[in-house]
Amino acid sequence: MALDPCYLEYPKRRHGMDHDFYPWSNLFERKPIAWPDGKSVAVWILVNLEWFPIVPEDKPFRAPGHMVTPYPDYRHYTARDYGTRIGFYRLLDAFAKVGAKVSVAANAAIAERYPSVIADIVAAGHEIVAHSTDMNGTIATGIGEEAERALILRSLDTLERVAGTRPRGWHSIARSQSFDTPRLLVEAGVDYMCDWVNDELPYRFTTSAGSLINLPLNHELSDRQILVNQQHSVDSYVEQMTDAYTLLEAESTRFGGRMLPLNVTPYIMGLPYRIDAFERLLADLAARPGTWFARGDSIVDAAGV
C-alpha cells in the first residue's frame, strides 16, 4: 500500500526544529561561554524539596515517587517526610563543608508547613526555585490555562511570602509542561525554567508573551534515575558524575564553559549509607580548580544568552 502523501507534507519541516521556541544550534559551534574567575565547569546542584499528600491524584498524572500502597500509605509518606526532616539537613551540611551554593526546588506546601526549613535555606545563601504547590500539582495539557496559571501564581506567591524573595526559577513536577506553560511562566515574571532537557547549557526560549531562559536539568544525571530507577550503587553514581565532570572539563578547553547539573533528592541521597559518598563527590569536585559551584540564577546571569 502506498504511503499517504499527507505524511510527507509537514508545514514546519525545517533544519533542526519544528517549532519557533528557539533556533536549532550545535553545542560545539556556539559562541563560548566564560564563567566567572576563569572557571571551566559550573556545577549546578538542584535539590527537590517536596511534600507528597498522603492521597495522590492521578489527573493529569501521578507524580513520580508518590504514594503507591493502599490508603493510608504511611510507609511511603513517612519516607518522603524523612527527606524533609533529616535527609535535607544532611545535604545542607554537605554543601556547607565545601562552600557550595545551590538551588532548592521547593513545593509551596513546604513553605506553608515548614517555614523554618525555608528560612534555613535562605540563611545559608541558597536559592529557592518554585516547584509547584505540592506533589499533586502536576501539569500537562488538558488541565486548563486558568487552572495552570493559578497553580503557578500560588506557588510563586507562597514561596515569596515565606522566603522574602520571589523565585526567579521554575521546575515543574516530573519536568512536565503543557503547551501553555512557558508563556504562563513569562507572564508570571519567571526568568528561567528547568524542564527542557535537550541541551547542556542555558538557552533562550521565546513565547508570545516574551522570553525566558531554559536551564537544562539532565534527567539521566539525577539520583532518582541512577539510584532508584536503574538501581545503581551510590559509588557507581559518584563514578558517573566524576566521569561526566572530566569529559566536560576537557571540552571546556576547546569550546568554553560547561555545566554539570546534579539533581538530588533528600529522601534518596540523604540516607546514612549514601551521604558519605555524596560528600566525597563534593569534596573531589571542590578540589578541582575549574569547579564553580553555582546557583541556577547565577548561571543564568553569567551565561548572557
Domains of the chain: 49-303 (3.20.20.370)
* DSSP class per residue in 149-194: HHHHHHHHHHHHHHHSS--SEE--GGG---TTHHHHHHHTT--EE-
Q: How far apart (Å, rounded) are the C-alpha atoms in residues 237 and 222?
A: 9
Read off the pLDDT of residues 49-97 as tens digits, 9 standing for 90 and up.
999 999 999 999 999 999 999 999 999 999 999 999 999 999 999 999 9
With 0.75 as the threshold, say if the pTM is over it: yes
Percentage of the chain lying above the pLDDT 90 cut: 92
Count helices and strands in the chain by DSSP H and E runs: 11, 9
Q: How far apart (Å, rounded) are the C-alpha atoms in residues 128 and 49?
A: 10
* pLDDT tier at 4, thresholds 50, 70, 90: confident
Read off the pLDDT of residues 214-261 as tens digits, 9 standing for 90 and up.
999 999 999 999 999 999 999 999 999 999 999 999 999 999 999 999
* DSSP class per residue in 190-247: --EE----S-SS-EEEEETTEEEEE----GGGSHIIIIIIS---HHHHHHHHHHHHHH
What's the confidence (pLDDT) of residue 8? 73
What's the confidence (pLDDT) of residue 30? 93
What's the confidence (pLDDT) of residue 11? 72
Q: How far apart (Å, rounded) are the C-alpha atoms in residues 45 and 245?
A: 13
What's the confidence (pLDDT) of residue 238? 98
What's the confidence (pLDDT) of residue 1? 60
Q: What is the DSSP letter of 3?
A: P
Read off the pLDDT of residues 165-220 as tens digits, 9 standing for 90 and up.
999 999 999 999 999 999 999 999 999 999 999 999 999 999 999 999 999 999 99
Percentage of the chain lying above the pLDDT 70 cut: 99
